[in-house]
Amino acid sequence: MRWLEEGCLELLDQTKLPLKVTYLKCRDYLDVAAAIKRLAVRGAPAIGTAAAYGLTLGAMNLKTRQKEEFLSGVKAIASELSATRPTAVNLRWALDRMIKKLHIDDNEDVNSLRTVLLEEANLIYQEDIETNRKIGKHGQALIPNGSRVLTHCNAGALATAGYGTALGVIRAAREAGKNISVIADETRPLLQGARLTAWEMLREHIPVTLITDNMAGYLMATQKVDLIIVGADRITANGDVANKIGTYSLAVLAKAHNLPFYVAAPLSTIDMSLASGAEIPIEERDHTEITHLDGKSVAPPGVKAWNPAFDVTPNHLVTAIITERGVIYPAYLDNLDKIINH
């Protein structure tokens, strides 16, 4: 994603990858909201950053010069953007951070508040890349040379402002000179692993092998994988992790095969207001995402379907959470609070 000086957010349309590299030009918050909803931009940190720019666009397009009216308009746009996807807490985190900026100096006029919003969105963007590099640095120390790493969905540069979380750890391990190969779960139903992770890895000449989701158990049983790293959409105060549907099954399999199961995520993904994963709102998406493939029906018309986009992995299945401030080990139930409030 890229902010263009003309007052426009440019987004790589991820729904078109890997076949086409096309960019969307968002000139209003409604364009950004629509892009988030249809997953043209997706991945927890990426939707937070895009929403921050979306709010900036909305504020630029508000006609009023009256400060109170401007503030209530911006807040209404923030709640609309926040409602686009319910599970990834980074979306709300970024919008809350933007809104907080508007109260710093009561003497500022509407135009300078617009500048404040753009500067904050730029900061969120830049910080996300730095954060991911730090996650990579801490995480790569956990990856032995020669590891074959299984990952799910796409927690790479595409899912963030740049570099990636889970894939950032892999990038950092490669940059440290380690010989690392990746196994990408295809990630039904929308194939973020096949379409996006495989695309990212191939572009950087990182060895990658694609498997379907139902091959993971056999892969582990036949000792073809050494560890698992995934990203996260929300981590609760007890260390439970919401991530792309299928993550929980991988964690159970990892436990059964005695393999490390790591979660790489920025602190902005940790929601200390929720005690456990049972409280996380799980997005349910359109049934056609599973009854159809590429617009063609793959199920009998009229069949009932269920399409939760995320699942929750309980803390006891997580070996460690890798954050920008360091690695939180199983004793993290206490550490999480200390690290967040440090």
The whole-angstrom separation of Cα 61 and Cα 33 is 15
Selected binder of ligand MRU within 49, 147, 243, 315 (CB under 6 A): 243
Contact flag: residue 45 with ligand MRU (CB under 6 A)? yes
* Best CA proximity match to 211, nearest among 245, 183, 190: 183
Contact flag: residue 43 with ligand MRU (CB under 6 A)? yes
Sign for the CA dihedral angle at 94, 4, 43, 306 comes to positive
Sign for the CA dihedral angle at 251, 184, 157, 291 comes to negative
Q: Which residues contact 80 (CB under 8 A, 6 or more apart)?
A: 29, 33
Interface positions, 263-322, toward ligand MRU (CB under 6 A): 309
Contact flag: residue 231 with ligand MRU (CB under 6 A)? yes
Residue 8: DSSP 8-state: E
Contact letters for ligand MRU, residues 141-180 (x by CB under 6 A): ------------x-x---xx----x---------------
The residue behind tokens 């056609």 is 288
97 carries a ligand binding annotation:
no
Q: Residue 48: helix, strand or coil by DSSP? A: helix
- Shorter beta-carbon distance to ligand MRU: residue 150 or 153: 153
Residue 245 CB, shortest distance to ligand MRU, in Å, is 8
Per DSSP bridges, beta strands 241-244 and 208-211 are unpaired
Q: Which helix (H) or strand (E) holds 18?
A: none
The Cβ of residue 286 has, within 10 Å, a number of other Cβ atoms equal to 11
Q: Which residues contact 205 (CB under 8 A, 6 or more apart)?
A: none
- Shorter beta-carbon distance to ligand MRU: residue 4 or 305: 305
85 carries a ligand binding annotation:
yes
Selected binder of ligand MRU within 244, 259, 268, 313 (CB under 6 A): 244
Determine the longest span between alpha carbons in the chain, in angstroms.
66
In this structure, are residues 257 and 180 in contact, taking their beta carbons and an 8 Å threshold? no
- Shorter beta-carbon distance to ligand MRU: residue 62 or 84: 84
243 carries a ligand binding annotation:
yes
- Shorter beta-carbon distance to ligand MRU: residue 146 or 281: 281
The whole-angstrom separation of Cα 281 and Cα 5 is 36
Contact flag: residue 250 with ligand MRU (CB under 6 A)? no
- Shorter beta-carbon distance to ligand MRU: residue 114 or 234: 234
Residue type (1 letter), 55: L
Binding-residue total with ligand MRU (CB under 6 A): 18
Q: Which residue is nearest to ligand MRU (CB)?
A: 231
Q: Which two tokens stand for residue 237?
A: 């105060």
Q: Which two tokens stand for residue 302?
A: 């009229």
Catalytic residue annotation: 233
The whole-angstrom separation of Cα 123 and Cα 287 is 37
Contact letters for ligand MRU, residues 64-93 (x by CB under 6 A): ------------------------x-----
Residue 45 CB, shortest distance to ligand MRU, in Å, is 6
Residue 328: DSSP 8-state: E
Q: Which two tokens stand for residue 6?
A: 């003309």
- Shorter beta-carbon distance to ligand MRU: residue 102 or 323: 323
Q: Which stretch binds ligand MRU (CB under 6 A): 15-23, 41-49, 52-60, 95-103?
A: 41-49
Q: Which stretch binds ligand MRU (CB under 6 A): 1-9, 51-59, 73-81, 225-233?
A: 225-233
Binding site, annotated residues for substrate: 42-44, 85, 192, 243-244
Give the interface with ligand MRU as residue ranges (CB under 6 A): 39, 42-45, 88, 153, 155, 159-160, 165, 192, 231-233, 243-244, 309
